[in-house]
Chain A
Amino acid sequence: AQKVTQAQTEISVVEKEDVTLDCVYETRDTTYYLFWYKQPPSGELVFLIRRNSFDEQNEISGRYSWNFQKSTSSFNFTITASQVVDSAVYFCALSEAGANNLFFGTGTRLTVIP
């Protein structure tokens, strides 16, 4: 069975600090996809990134970076030099091969204090 665990329920950081959001997943499939979504206070879910299980290269996009490690079944998300606008709930999600639906973690609420 598939499962996504985001153990950090809430995190608070001071602006300009770096912060890492953890995501651990479980799946029996060898082909799967991992996602991060951001849900700002407005409520909309915003797509951030998708990785497939065969691509373990880390990715950087501006202040965002992602560390995918199959050995530990983790797909962690780091925000460098955090800003107040980064305050949101961040969801990690998993999709297995042949399925289109996303299994979401419970989310991590990030608060960036000015």
Chain B
Amino acid sequence: DARVTQTPRHKVTEMGQEVTMRCQPILGHNTVFWYRQTMMQGLELLAYFRNRAPLDDSGMPKDRFSAEMPDATLATLKIQPSEPRDSAVYFCASGLTWGGSGDEQFFGPGTRLTVL
């Protein structure tokens, strides 16, 4: 049963600290997404990659957030420095896309981040 995995599941940190969240997409999937879920904003897209290349990161605050895919089995989302308003659940999702759209995305369990 292939699943997207995310680590850590929970993270509590202090304001100003660096936070790194990791995601392992489903083997063979070529598209990876990062979403953030908050009570106020709901689910919003931060960034996504296809074949490891960033396609859209317009939803991400560029001054403190960065997303990368060092290889096909690992995606990372970093926040430096973290702020209390970054507290949210961060989801990674992966999918198999052949240049089109509308393919279902499979979500990981999320990382619940709390910045004090």
Contacts and interface: CB of A to CB of B under 8 A. Distances in A.
B31 interface: yes
Given A91-B43, A95-B101, A96-B101, A43 B106 contact: no
A82 B107 CA distance: 25
B105 A42 contact: no
A50 interface: yes
Interface string A59-100: 000000000000000000000000000000001000111111
A47 B106 contact: yes
A66 to B, nearest CB: 14
B109 interface: yes
Interface residues of A, number: 25
A112 B103 CA distance: 30
Interface in A9-65: 32-33, 35, 37, 42-47, 50, 52
A47 B104 contact: yes
Contact of A47 (B31, B45, B50, B105): B105
A45 B6 CA distance: 13
Nearest to B45: A101
A104 B42 contact: yes
A51 to B, nearest CB: 9
B40 to A, nearest CB: 10
B107 A106 contact: no
B102 A43 contact: no
Contacts of B48: 100-101
A101 B33 contact: yes
Given A32-B102, A44-B107, A104-B42, 4 more contacts: A33-B101, A44-B109, A100-B50, A107-B43
Interface of A: 32-33, 35, 37, 42-47, 50, 52, 91, 95-102, 104-107
Which 6 A-B pairs give the minimum distances between C-beta atoms? A33-B102, A45-B107, A104-B43, A101-B45, A47-B104, A44-B109
